[in-house]
Amino acid sequence: MLTPGQILRLLYIQRVLIRHGFDEIVFSLNLFRRVRFLQYLLPWNWFVGNRLPRASRLRIVLEQLGPIYIKLGQLLSTRRDLLPDDVIVEFARLQDHVAPFPGQIAIQIIEQALGSKINDIFLQFDEVPLASASIAQVHTARLKDGRDMIVKVVRPSIEKIIRRDLGLMHIIAEMAENYSAQMQRLKPADVVREFEKTLLDELDLMREAANASQLRRNFSDSTLLYVPQVEWRYSARNVMVMERISGVPVGDIQGLKNAGIDLKWLAEAGVEVFFTQVFRDSFFHADMHPGNIFVRPGTATEAPRIVVVDFGIMSSLSEFDKRYLAENFIAFLNKDYQKVAELHVQSGWVPAGTRVDEFESAIRTVCEPLFDRPISEISFGALLLRLFQTAGRFNMVIMPQLLLLQKTLVNIEGLGRELYPDLNIWTTARPVLEKWMSDRTGVRGLFKGTLENLPYWLDRLPGFPGKMMDLVDKISDGRFQFEWNQEELRKLRLEIRDGNRRNILSIIGAAMLIGCFIIAGLQLNPDAFTEQGLLAPLLGLSGVFLLFISSRR
């Protein structure tokens, strides 16, 4: 049931839509469907030749509806899998600039959140905001110890406004899905739910502060990236105090040159930092547009460094996501489209019944044009987008974290090539990809996985004999039953066909490897390996060798 406020808001939205030539959307609603013929009687529909393009009119509609709808447009600008390119380009132009609220109100919010008077916290506080957006605004301040800080304050009553508009968006999304089959494909209800989560997360500045703290810890020893420090003593859900940084905006090319920054180094460092976040840490800044990136010039004792701000939108990838990306990128580099298709089917990203040859042909069709140019000019972002678009035709569901990755990758690439047009993304990113693959495959990956899982295995080892005896008892008494579905039977037949030899060798190899660690753990004499204790290393090497042989097909 719509509230009176929502009804008034809905009428205003309809008026804005009609004003910009989207009458068909309004008259498609159940409320106006009986008088749909009026759409053709409206005078402004008689002459449509001078109208702006559809995408431009959509952008203007969102700007007139206010900051919450502007943020929705910004989110949609990342959904190249859903919207046409002309709409994406226009939505990317949306700017989140909102009139500031009075500094005295900001002071009241800070004092209430922190339980102290403003003068007891800061030596100096600037009531005029440094920047203002739809969710929060930023002030500059100085702590009692002389450190310069920025203070981010959530707008008063913004949560009530957001929830009102979100409720209306859910209603509009449900109506839109009944509007046409095309709108059903765009899944507006799912988009609104994703937008709701993103928006409500941005209201919690403690979450943003935790994101910043995690990223700072990940790059604590880095000579390439600097993350400002959060002042936890003076941070709350609606207030965040963070170190104020100084630097040249990355979009100020002339300013970077004047500061003596090597643009080639900067472009390559930005790509390396991003791929390190993705593949080493599985935690990346997903809003790396030029407004959030600065460069701190070097000094006599310190090299220049990239500095990032605004940690409201972060994302992470699972081990599965990273392997999917790395193996697909390498397969694409080798133009092995069959491998790409097989990876998708094997991993379950597309339905199991998908024909590999058809999927391979579709991937080749859209990706071959990308390779008709020097490797340095091929875009990672464009490649990932083509992959998503192709897989979407085969009912692949794109995960939100991969969409954020693709959007951020496009930003990083565009910025990098603006700084240094001859930037070779592949040369810069490939060492990070190959190192990650090396760490998770081969002998190194085997040892790392064994070490990580050894405590779990040892914890379950005491109960293993008892479970084996229970299994034997059930089999001997005829109480043991198997429940297999058709897919499992097919896999079983394949395993049997591949041969019992691999199974036996892998069991022996794993047993030797576990025995190696148990013996090594029981040896108290650190010199035992050089005297009589050669059994453990021999068992370990033999186990690794047998596991390697058993993995060969």
User: Do 237 and 144 fall within a single domain?
Assistant: yes
| Segments of the chain with pLDDT less than 50 | 30-37, 40-41, 44, 46, 524-532, 553
Give me the pLDDT at residue 532, please: 46
User: Do 460 and 538 fall within a single domain?
Assistant: yes
**Domain ends where: 411, 440, 469?**
440
User: Do 354 and 216 fall within a single domain?
Assistant: no
SS3 per-residue string spanning 151-193: EEEECCCHHHHHHHHHHHHHHHHHHHHCCCHHHHHHCHHHHHH
Give me the pLDDT at residue 427, please: 77
Strand partners, 285: 314
**Domain ends where: 418, 440, 462?**
440
Q: 96-99 contacts: CB < 8 A, separation 24 or more?
A: 96/67, 96/70, 96/71, 96/133, 96/134, 97/132, 97/133, 98/67, 98/132, 98/133, 98/134, 99/132
Residue of 107, 110, 165, 103 lying closest to 132 (CA atoms): 103
Residues 6+ apart with CB under 8 A from 470: none
Is residue 348 classed exposed, middle or buried when 0-12, 13-18 and 19+ CB atoms within 10 A define those classes? Answer: exposed
What is the residue-wise DSSP string for 473-509? Answer: HHHHHT-------HHHHHHHHHHHHH-HHHHHHHHHH
pLDDT digits (tens, 9 = 90+) for 190-221: 777 877 887 888 889 999 999 999 999 999 99
- Greatest Cα pair distance in the chain: 99
User: Do 215 and 109 fall within a single domain?
Assistant: yes
Structural domain boundaries enclosing 475:
442-551
Residues 6+ apart with CB under 8 A from 523: 529, 533, 536
What is the residue-wise DSSP string for 233-259? Answer: GG-BTTEEEEEPP--EETT-HHHHHHT
User: Do 353 and 423 fall within a single domain?
Assistant: yes
Phi-psi region of 516 (alpha: psi -120 to 50; beta: other; left: phi over 0): alpha
Q: Is residue 359 part of a domain?
A: yes
Residues serving a catalytic function are: 287
Q: Which two three-digit tokens encode residue 136?
A: 């929060």
The Cβ-side half-sphere exposure at 135, using a 13 Å CA radius, reads 20
Q: Is residue 34 part of a domain?
A: no
**Domain ends where: 440, 475, 510?**
440
Phi-psi region of 66 (alpha: psi -120 to 50; beta: other; left: phi over 0): left
Rounded to an integer, what distance in angstroms lies between the CA atom of residue 81 and that of residue 93?
Answer: 18
Sign of CA dihedral 206, 208, 209, 215: positive
User: Do 435 and 448 fall within a single domain?
Assistant: no
Number of domains in the chain: 3
Q: Is residue 215 part of a domain?
A: yes
Give me the pLDDT at residue 517, please: 57
Strand ordering across the sheet containing 248-249: 225-226, 305-308, 293-296, 248-249
Backbone angles phi, psi at 203, to 5 degrees: -70, -20
Sign of CA dihedral 259, 260, 266, 269: negative
**425 close to 120: Cβ distance less than 8 angstroms:** no
Tokens 């060969």 locate to 552
Residues 6+ apart with CB under 8 A from 184: 177
pLDDT digits (tens, 9 = 90+) for 361-384: 888 887 777 666 665 676 766 777
User: Do 237 and 118 fall within a single domain?
Assistant: yes
User: Do 434 and 529 fall within a single domain?
Assistant: no
Give me the pLDDT at residue 526, please: 46
User: Do 215 and 107 fall within a single domain?
Assistant: yes
Q: Is residue 289 part of a domain?
A: no
User: Do 467 and 376 fall within a single domain?
Assistant: no
Q: Are strands 148-154 and 239-243 parallel, antiparallel or unpaired?
A: antiparallel
Output the pTM of the full model: 0.69
Q: 476-480 contacts: CB < 8 A, separation 24 or more?
A: none
pLDDT digits (tens, 9 = 90+) for 389-410: 776 777 766 666 777 777 788 7
Q: 229-235 contacts: CB < 8 A, separation 24 or more?
A: 231/143, 231/149, 234/114, 234/121, 235/205, 235/206, 235/209
Rounded to an integer, what distance in angstroms lies between the CA atom of residue 327 and that of residue 343?
Answer: 8
Give me the pLDDT at residue 69, please: 81
Q: Is residue 216 part of a domain?
A: yes
Q: Are strands 225-226 and 305-308 parallel, antiparallel or unpaired?
A: parallel
Q: Is residue 161 part of a domain?
A: yes
User: Do 111 and 149 fall within a single domain?
Assistant: yes
User: Do 233 and 123 fall within a single domain?
Assistant: yes
Q: Is residue 18 part of a domain?
A: no
Phi-psi region of 187 (alpha: psi -120 to 50; beta: other; left: phi over 0): left
Give me the pLDDT at residue 343, please: 78
Backbone angles phi, psi at 233, to 5 degrees: -60, -30
Q: Is residue 194 part of a domain?
A: yes
Give me the pLDDT at residue 530, please: 46
SS3 per-residue string spanning 11-79: HHHHHHHHHCCCHHHHHCCCCCHHHHHHHHCCHHHCCCCCCCCHHHHHHHHHHHHCHHHHHHHHHHCCC
